[in-house]
Amino acid sequence: MKNGKITLKHYTHLVEVLKRALDKSEIDLIPTGNGDPIAAAREQWNDGSNTLAIAPGEVVTYDCNYVSNDLLRKHGIIVHEVRSSELSRGRGGPRCMSCPLVREDLE
């Protein structure tokens, strides 16, 4: 606030926004499909970015996203792969499956 006025700065670069929000000097974004447009589209469709972080530097993801999983490993991330043959058909990856589910008792 300056002179009784609120000023906001609009940022459009994701890395800069994350660095500011997390108070970090560097951010390492790992793109789905390693930036390859064909692999990225395929792995995005197979929930390649729907990865569940279970600890710092450790994730659970689908085995069918082999390009992204390899890239995660190259960045020092421990990757636990879940077979996705049936799970991925329902749409939603490991992170989605970890969300709480509340159902009303119908009896």
Please list the active-site residues: 96
HEC-encoded secondary structure of 14-69: HHHHHHHHHCCCCCCCCCHHHHCHHHHHHHHHCCCCCCEEEECCEEEEECCCHHHH
How far is it, in rounded angstroms, from Cα 16 to Cα 14? Answer: 5
How far is it, in rounded angstroms, from Cα 28 to Cα 36? Answer: 17
